[in-house]
């Protein structure tokens, strides 16, 4: 997908979110959104390492509201906070986090009202070389200073 198409879609997603935002919703400042996004990706990077601990997973979930949902239509649809947590734990126990992901590169972000659209790439280590993955898009939505929904578009 071309960058201009990704950016157009990101703007459309944020615009849709703005139209549907509820009256009286507390606005999460852009600086707080940026900090939460950075924390989220750094904490995930830590979990993706072979020596990660259950506490590392717990730290990610501290960033989420109690009614958090994760939406990924390409991987089965909508997941509750509990579903996603159990998936992280299962992957960790099964050795799915092996340190092959060495970075999560955020290439673009567009801040909106209680939301940010992100274009990112996973950087992996394969045969001793760092390989840049495909561009992926996600929309993060915030409430009361925490992440309440992540929708992946890849």
pLDDT surpasses 60 at 70 = yes
pLDDT surpasses 70 at 38 = yes
CA dist list (Å): 56 to 32, 51, 62, 143, 149: 21, 10, 10, 23, 20
pLDDT band at 29 (very low <50, low <70, confident <90, very high): confident
pLDDT surpasses 80 at 142 = yes
The answer to pTM > 0.75 is yes
Q: Which of 66, 70, 30, 68 is nearest to 150 (CA)?
A: 70
At the topology level, CATH places domain 3-152 in: Nuclear Transport Factor 2; Chain: A, (3.10.450)
Domain locations in the chain as residue ranges? 3-152
């Amino acid at each position: 997908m071309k960058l201009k198409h990704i950016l157009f879609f990101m703007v459309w997603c944020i615009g849709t979110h703005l139209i549907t935002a509820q009256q009286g919703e507390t606005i999460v400042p852009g600086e707080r959104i940026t900090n939460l996004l950075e924390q989220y990706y750094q904490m995930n990077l830590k979990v993706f390492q072979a020596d990660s601990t259950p506490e590392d997973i717990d730290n990610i979930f501290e960033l989420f509201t109690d009614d958090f949902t994760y939406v990924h239509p390409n991987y089965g649809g909508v997941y509750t906070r509990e579903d996603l947590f159990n998936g992280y734990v299962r992957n960790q126990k099964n050795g799915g986090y092996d340190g092959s992901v060495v970075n999560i590169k955020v290439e673009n972000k567009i801040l909106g009202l209680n939301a940010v659209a992100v274009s990112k790439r996973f950087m992996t280590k394969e045969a001793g070389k760092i390989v840049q993955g495909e561009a992926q898009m996600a929309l993060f939505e915030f409430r009361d200073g925490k992440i309440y929904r992540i929708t992946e578009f890849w």
